[in-house]
C-alpha cells in the first residue's frame, strides 16, 4: 500500500509539474502573436476574395496560377493515403477554393517514388528554437515524404536572431551538404520568418545559392507583418524563458527583419537569383478556424491591415513576386507548421484548439508539384 501511495504521489507531482510547465509555455507562447488588443472594425473586412492579388499580366505580383494542378495533386494524395495520417481533413476543408480558380487539368497524378530525389530543407520561423524542446516535434512530415523518396529535414537557425545571422547559418548548412546530396535538386522551404532568412542567404552567398533549385514560401513573411511594428526586443527575449529554450540571447533582432518598411527596403535594394524557381503556399483561414491563442493578434492585424490574415501575416504578404502560387490553406499560422495539439492536449484545450492540419500531405503535395514543374520545364540541374 505504501509503495502504491508513493507511486501515486510521484505521478501527481509529475502531472502537476507538466501542467505548470505547460501553463508557463502558454503565457510565453502568447508572445509569438506579439500583440493583443480590443476588438474594432478591420481596415479591410474578411471576404473570400484575393484582391489585390491578380494573375493578369502586368500585375505587381507577376505570379503564375498553379492552383488547379496543386489541388489535383493534394487531393489525389489525400484521397489515397491521407486518412491514414494524423489530422485528416478532406480536400475541400483543407484548401480554400475561390471563384476564379481554374478548372482541373485532368492530368493523372503520379503518386509513386520521386524521380528526382528532391532534397528539401525547411527553415522554421520566429521563436521555433525557443519552443522546440517543449514542443517535442515528431518530424512526421519529413518522415512521411521519405517514404516516397524525398529527403527532407530542418536547418537549425536561431529563434530570435536577425535574418543576416540566420542566413549565415543556412549558408553553413548548405556548404556542409555531403557529396551524396550533390545530385539531388535542393529545395528550400521557408516558414514565416524562415523565408527572409533564406532570402538573406541567397543574396549574401551567391556562389552557394547556385546549389539551390527552388524556394517555397510556406506562409512565408515575404513582406513582413504589421504586428512587428508594435513589439519590441524586450518582449522577444521572453521567449528565451520557455522551459528548455535553446534560442540565443545575444542577437534579438528578428523583429527588425519582420517590419514591413524594412522588407520593402530589402526588395528595393536586393534581387533574388533568377536561376531559382519560386513557389508560394498561403494560409488563408476562415475566421472560425483561428485558435484561441491567436484570435487577439488576428483581430489586431485586421485593424492594422486586413482581416484576411492568418493571425500573423496578411495573405498577400506571403507571396513571393514572380512565383507560382500553389494554393490557399484554411489554417492559421500555427496550424500550418507547429503541431502543438498532437503533443500537448492541455495546450490544445487552452490556446491551440484549431491546430489540426494535414501537414504531411501538404508537404508531399508541395514537393510533388515542384518536382513535376521542374521536369515539365526541363529545369532539373542542381549546380548550373
pTM of the model: 0.89
| Higher pLDDT pick, 89 / 252 | 89
Q: Is the CA virtual torsion 268, 192, 50, 290 positive or negative?
A: negative
pLDDT at 9 over 60: no
Band (246; pLDDT cuts 50, 70, 90): confident
Domain residue ranges in the chain: 2-376
- Report d(CA 281, CA 328) in Å as an integer: 6
- Report d(CA 56, CA 16) in Å as an integer: 57
| Higher pLDDT pick, 130 / 221 | 221
Q: Residues 295-317: what's their mean pLDDT?
A: 96
Mean pLDDT, the chain, rounded, equals: 86
Q: Residue-wise over 141-167: b if at least 16 C-beta within 10 A, else e?
A: bbebbeebbbbbebbbbbbbbbbbbbb
pLDDT at 50 over 70: yes
- Report d(CA 379, CA 384) in Å as an integer: 10
Question: Which pairs count as long-range contacts for 68-72, CB under 8 Å and 24+ apart, including other chains?
Answer: 68/101, 68/102, 68/103, 68/104, 68/105, 69/105, 69/107, 69/369, 69/372, 70/326, 70/327, 70/365, 70/369, 71/95, 71/97, 71/101, 71/104, 71/327, 72/104, 72/105, 72/107, 72/109
Q: Residues 80-99: what's their mean pLDDT?
A: 96
- Report d(CA 336, CA 366) in Å as an integer: 13
Q: Residues 242-268: what's their mean pLDDT?
A: 87
Band (227; pLDDT cuts 50, 70, 90): very high
pLDDT at 12 over 70: no
pLDDT at 15: 37
Q: Residue-wise over 35-67: b if at least 16 C-beta within 10 A, else e?
A: beeeeeebeeebeeebeebebeeeeebebbebb
pLDDT at 197 over 50: yes
Cα atoms in the 13 Å half-sphere on the side-chain side of 366: 35
Give percent of the chain with pLDDT exceeding 70.
83
Task: Give ∠ CA 167-384-223 in degrees, rounded to 5.
Answer: 35
| Higher pLDDT pick, 205 / 353 | 205
**What tens digit of pLDDT does each residue of 340-361 get?**
766 656 665 567 789 899 999 9
Cell reading at 261: 518598411
Q: Residues 159-177: what's their mean pLDDT?
A: 95
pLDDT at 35: 38
pLDDT at 216 over 90: yes
pLDDT at 149: 96
Band (62; pLDDT cuts 50, 70, 90): very high
pLDDT at 334 over 70: yes
Locus of grid cell 513557389: 279
Locus of grid cell 529545369: 379
Tell me the angle at which helices 359-376 and 67-81 cross, rounded to the nearest 10 degrees. 130
Q: Which CATH superfamily is domain 2-376 in?
A: Alpha/Beta hydrolase fold, catalytic domain (3.40.50.1820)
- Report d(CA 307, CA 96) in Å as an integer: 16
pLDDT at 319 over 50: yes
pLDDT at 38 over 50: no
Locus of grid cell 513582406: 223
Amino acid at each position: 500500500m505504501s509503495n502504491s501511495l508513493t507511486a501515486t504521489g510521484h505521478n501527481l507531482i509529475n502531472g502537476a509539474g507538466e501542467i505548470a510547465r505547460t501553463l508557463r509555455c502558454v503565457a510565453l507562447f502568447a508572445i509569438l502573436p506579439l500583440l493583443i488588443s480590443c476588438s474594432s472594425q478591420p481596415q479591410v473586412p474578411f471576404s473570400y476574395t484575393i484582391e489585390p492579388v491578380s494573375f493578369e499580366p502586368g500585375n505587381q505580383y507577376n505570379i503564375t496560377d498553379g492552383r488547379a494542378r496543386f489541388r489535383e495533386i493534394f487531393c489525389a494524395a489525400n484521397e489515397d493515403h491521407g486518412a491514414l495520417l494524423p489530422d485528416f481533413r478532406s480536400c475541400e476543408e483543407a484548401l480554400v477554393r475561390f471563384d476564379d480558380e481554374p478548372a482541373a487539368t485532368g492530368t493523372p497524378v503520379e503518386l509513386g517514388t520521386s524521380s528526382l530525389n528532391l532534397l528539401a530543407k525547411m527553415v522554421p520561423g520566429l521563436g521555433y528554437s525557443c519552443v522546440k524542446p517543449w514542443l517535442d516535434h515528431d518530424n512526421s512530415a519529413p518522415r512521411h515524404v521519405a517514404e516516397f523518396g524525398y529527403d527532407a529535414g530542418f536547418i537549425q537557425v536561431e529563434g530570435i536572431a536577425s535574418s543576416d545571422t540566420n542566413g549565415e547559418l543556412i549558408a553553413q548548412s548548405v556548404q556542409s551538404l555531403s557529396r551524396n546530396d550533390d545530385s539531388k535538386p535542393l529545395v528550400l522551404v521557408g516558414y514565416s520568418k524562415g523565408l527572409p532568412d533564406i532570402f538573406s542567404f541567397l543574396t549574401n552567398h551567391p556562389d552557394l545559392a547556385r546549389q539551390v533549385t527552388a524556394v517555397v514560401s510556406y506562409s512565408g513573411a515575404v513582406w513582413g507583418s504589421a504586428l512587428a511594428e508594435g513589439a519590441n526586443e524586450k518582449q522577444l527575449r521572453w521567449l528565451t524563458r520557455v522551459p528548455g529554450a535553446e534560442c540565443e540571447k545575444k542577437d534579438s533582432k528578428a523583429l527588425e527583419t519582420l517590419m514591413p518598411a524594412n522588407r520593402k527596403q530589402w526588395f528595393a535594394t536586393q534581387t533574388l537569383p533568377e536561376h531559382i524557381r519560386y513557389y508560394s503556399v498561403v494560409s488563408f483561414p476562415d475566421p472560425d478556424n483561428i485558435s484561441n491563442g491567436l484570435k487577439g493578434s488576428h483581430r489586431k492585424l485586421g485593424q492594422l491591415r486586413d482581416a484576411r490574415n492568418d493571425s500573423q501575416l496578411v495573405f498577400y504578404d506571403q507571396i513571393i513576386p514572380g512565383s507560382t502560387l500553389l494554393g490557399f490553406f484554411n489554417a492559421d499560422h500555427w496550424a500550418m507548421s507547429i503541431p502543438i495539439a498532437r503533443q500537448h492536449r492541455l495546450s490544445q484545450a487552452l490556446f491551440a484548439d484549431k491546430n489540426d492540419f494535414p501537414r504531411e500531405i501538404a508537404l508531399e503535395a508541395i514537393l510533388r508539384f515542384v518536382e513535376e514543374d521542374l521536369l515539365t520545364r526541363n529545369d532539373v540541374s542542381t549546380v548550373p
